Amino acid sequence: MNKNEAKAEIERLSKELNRHNHLYYVESNPEISDYDFDMMLKQLQELEEKFPEFASDLSPTKRVGGDITKKFESVVHKYAMLSLSNSYSKDEIEEWVVRAKKLVEDDLEYVCELKYDGVAIGIQYVDGKLVQAVTRGDGTQGENVTSNVKTIRTIPLQLTGDYPQDFEIRGEIFFPLKNFLALNEKRREEGEQEFANPRNTASGTLKMQDSKVVAERGLDCYLYGIYGASNRADGHFELVNKAADWGFKVPPHKERFIEKTNSVEGVMEFINYWDEKRKELPFEIDGVVIKVNNYDQQEILGFTAKSPRWAIAYKFKAERVETILEEVTYQVGRTGAITPVANLQPVQLGGTTVKRASLHNQDQIEKLDLHLGDSVYVEKGGEIIPKIVGVNFDARTQTSEVVTFINECPECNTPLIRREGEAQHYCPNELGCPPQVKGKIEHFISRKAMNIDGLGAETVDALVEVGLIENYADLYTLTFEKVVSLERMADKSANNLIAGIEASKAIPFERVLFGLGIRFVGETVAKKLAKAFKNIDELAKADFDTLIAVDEIGDKIAMSIQAFFWEDRNKELVARLKEYGLQMEIEEQEGTSNKFEGSSFVVSGVFENFSRNELKALIESNGGKNVGSISSKTSYVVAGDKMGPSKLQKANDLGIRILSEAEFIEMLNA
């Protein structure tokens, strides 16, 4: 393929992929299979790698993220990003209507929309291209989070149809509940503390430095306000619908109410309907927004210092009940993390009976000033996890006992520790604390790790209790005779179990690595590590710099890996697993080259066609090694713009070959 053909093909594929992306994510009406989509994307990726000069900043391949933003630059909003005044009753809405009608002579028309519980975003498009996305900040200026926003697939990178030349669209970025729950499940697996609610997590995610992580989390966005294009329609409702034609995901749940037809009744019906139905939505809302539709009327109504007079929010009351705190108990996780749990007098909340609520940690208990027997307020945090939000102090008895956090593990009585800067208490008795011992084995045999047939949590408990196993390596010393001696274990089950254990020896290395239960090493990280280090010995001896040079491995994970392999007992466990014949290295994959085998690279500066992470991935998939800093052992420095002068000097002093971006590409394609 020559250059011109490549350029045309890249353009064609980009356009097609954008179209299919929109069909899939915005319209939920795909025309092609996921597989075909992935193949098309791969084709584009390959072409862009070969002809980086044609890879656009807005290419569909950029959806996976990769750009790192060290500090988000501050941007002044062209139109102030105001908030809404809140209302909580029909009376308040009627008062708002009366005030509006004093200022506007003609009939008013209202639009009701859902009030999405997320983070506000303003996105600027010029000539149909996404150029900048800014958070609300203090309303006057916000942070430039463009590279993170580009990973959200329902936000178009390139518009279609008859869009305005230069305008801003605003909306709400939110965490779909399904993705939020999946993220928390993953965190549980990795032994990390779970996130408390989708909104704060969406906000935190949007401000992460690594856009690749943002891409993986699966945020979504509804766009509900257009600025700088009001000449395109008479009213908000019409313009937002037009924006759908330009490729935006706009609120589907909205309705218009015309003044003469008893509009406040209509508004209230909309509110009451959604107050009930919100439980069924796949995302969280915290109310309804009522807007005057007509732009001329909006202009007459204008703004107060904080909010527009042409709109008002109706906030749903969080479902809240009062009940008695009977007891606080403590759970011990597989990593030894201690979670306090409030045991409540059973109470109905949002259609379910609530008996327990998580209290997160000691600080939380102290902040609430909990006493045993207190009458506490319980809310369904984001409709998912019930939480205690306060105490009815009037109902407290003088003699009630303060809830004090335990000092010793409830399972093994070992004194607890709390590391500096962390909120969670831990039981350090990894080898002797039953839930930790069992939890580690259960993790090892779980579906995504060794997936051992015929072995479940109950059998693990029984095996540990009778002393047949103390750790996961002991599983491989089990025999039919030993297992069948367990109570209620039939011959057939015992056979199955032994066969399942035997079969697990063929499970690929990355899953064994995941099964080891190293803190912060989840499924994805295990895959990355397996790919980068190829076998357990290389991983075990990797130093900190080598670890963090791997894509997506940060300080925290690197330290945790090192801590794991520093422990003699872990080294021994790993050595035993190896001896029993488990897979401790990856099978070589085809398709990647080894042209950089034996060479180590330092990538520094900013590049035109790649993000730093993309360059590093290319080096790795071609057999090279990425290192963090320049030393006499470095083979090449790939130098982009803005590479520090002292680094350059050091490379020169050591006589290391410095490659420009173009030279690197040449070497890669050679």
Candidates 267-275, 308-316, 502-510, 621-629: pick the segment binding ligand IVH (CB under 6 A): 308-316
Q: Which of 156, 176, 225, 386 binds ligand IVH (CB under 6 A)?
A: 225
Min dist. Cβ of residue 84 to ligand IVH (A): 4
Could you tell me how far CA 244 lies from the centroid of its own chain? 26
Amino acid residing at 8: A
Min dist. Cβ of residue 251 to ligand IVH (A): 6
| 254-258 vs 220-227, strand pairing mode | unpaired
How far apart are alpha carbons 339 and 330 in whole angstroms? Answer: 6
Candidates 186-194, 303-311, 398-406, 586-594: pick the segment binding ligand IVH (CB under 6 A): 303-311
Beta-carbon contacts of 621 under 8 Å, excluding residues fewer than 6 positions away, are 592, 593
Min dist. Cβ of residue 172 to ligand IVH (A): 5
Residue with Cβ nearer ligand IVH (306 or 571): 306
| Residue found under tokens 């093994």 | 412
Min dist. Cβ of residue 472 to ligand IVH (A): 48
Min dist. Cβ of residue 305 to ligand IVH (A): 12
Residue with Cβ nearer ligand IVH (60 or 251): 251
Q: Are 571 and 471 in contact (CB under 8 A)?
A: no
Min dist. Cβ of residue 340 to ligand IVH (A): 33
Residue with Cβ nearer ligand IVH (173 or 449): 173
Min dist. Cβ of residue 399 to ligand IVH (A): 43
Q: Among 653, 656, 509, 496, which residue's Cα sits nearest to residue 587? A: 509
First to last CA, the chain: 16
Candidates 142-150, 305-313, 507-515, 549-557: pick the segment binding ligand IVH (CB under 6 A): 305-313
How far apart are alpha carbons 166 and 72 in whole angstroms? Answer: 23
How far apart are alpha carbons 476 and 480 in whole angstroms? Answer: 11
Told to check if 224 binds ligand IVH by CB under 6 A, we report yes
Told to check if 439 binds ligand IVH by CB under 6 A, we report no
How far apart are alpha carbons 231 and 213 in whole angstroms? Answer: 39
- How many residues comprise the chain? 670
Min dist. Cβ of residue 208 to ligand IVH (A): 20
Q: Residue 206: CA atoms inside 13 Å, Cβ hemisphere, count?
A: 30
Residue with Cβ nearer ligand IVH (48 or 286): 286
Could you tell me the two tokens for 611?
């993000």
**By CB under 6 A, what part of segment 155-174 binds ligand IVH?**
172
Q: Which residue's C-beta sits nearest to ligand IVH?
A: 120
Find the radius of gyration of the CA atoms of the chain: 29
| 166-174 vs 220-227, strand pairing mode | antiparallel
Q: Which of 183, 289, 518, 547 binds ligand IVH (CB under 6 A)?
A: 289
Residue 586, burial from CB neighbour count under 10 angstroms (0-12, 13-18, 19+) = middle
CA angle 165, 171, 174 (to 5 degrees): 140
Told to check if 181 binds ligand IVH by CB under 6 A, we report no
Task: Render 112-137 in DSSP notation, one character per residue.
Answer: EEEEE-SEEEEEEEETTEEEEEEE-T
| Residue found under tokens 């025309």 | 31
Q: Which of 17, 41, 84, 134 binds ligand IVH (CB under 6 A)?
A: 84
Candidates 306-314, 446-454, 555-563, 585-593: pick the segment binding ligand IVH (CB under 6 A): 306-314
Q: What is the 3-state secondary structure (H, E, C) of 571-593?
A: HHHHHHHHHCCCCCECCCCCCCC
**For the window 244-273, what string marks contact with ligand IVH as x by the rule CB under 6 A?**
-------x----------------------
For helices 263-277 and 90-103, the axis angle rounded to 10 degrees is 140
Total residues at interface with ligand IVH (CB under 6 A): 16
For the chain, helix (H) and strand (E) counts, in that order, are 24, 21
CB atoms under 10 Å from CB of 168, counted, come to 21
CB atoms under 10 Å from CB of 45, counted, come to 17
Residue with Cβ nearer ligand IVH (224 or 514): 224
Residue with Cβ nearer ligand IVH (284 or 430): 284
How far apart are alpha carbons 150 and 65 in whole angstroms? Answer: 8
Q: Which of 74, 83, 397, 660 binds ligand IVH (CB under 6 A)?
A: 83
Residue with Cβ nearer ligand IVH (283 or 533): 283
Residue with Cβ nearer ligand IVH (263 or 626): 263
Q: Which of 308, 333, 410, 628 binds ligand IVH (CB under 6 A)?
A: 308
Min dist. Cβ of residue 225 to ligand IVH (A): 5
Q: Which of 159, 311, 388, 542 binds ligand IVH (CB under 6 A)?
A: 311
Which bin fits 405, alpha (ψ -120 to 50), beta or left (φ > 0)? beta
Residue with Cβ nearer ligand IVH (96 or 116): 116
Q: Are 484 and 491 in contact (CB under 8 A)?
A: yes
Sign of CA dihedral 16, 19, 243, 222: negative
**For the window 102-131, what string marks contact with ligand IVH as x by the rule CB under 6 A?**
-----------x-xx---x-----------
Q: Which of 6, 26, 40, 82 binds ligand IVH (CB under 6 A)?
A: 82
Could you tell me the two tokens for 524?
């994805």
Min dist. Cβ of residue 306 to ligand IVH (A): 9
Q: Which candidate in 62, 115, 254, 440 is catalytic?
A: 115
Min dist. Cβ of residue 259 to ligand IVH (A): 20
Host H or E run for residue 141: strand 141-143
Q: Are 436 and 336 in contact (CB under 8 A)?
A: yes
| Residue found under tokens 């604390």 | 433
Candidates 79-87, 475-483, 587-595, 614-622: pick the segment binding ligand IVH (CB under 6 A): 79-87
- Catalytic residue list contains 115: yes
Residue with Cβ nearer ligand IVH (110 or 444): 110
Residue with Cβ nearer ligand IVH (121 or 159): 121
Catalytic residue numbers, as ranges: 115
- Binding-site ranges for ligand IVH (CB under 6 A): 82-84, 113, 115-116, 120, 172, 224-225, 251, 289, 307-308, 311, 313
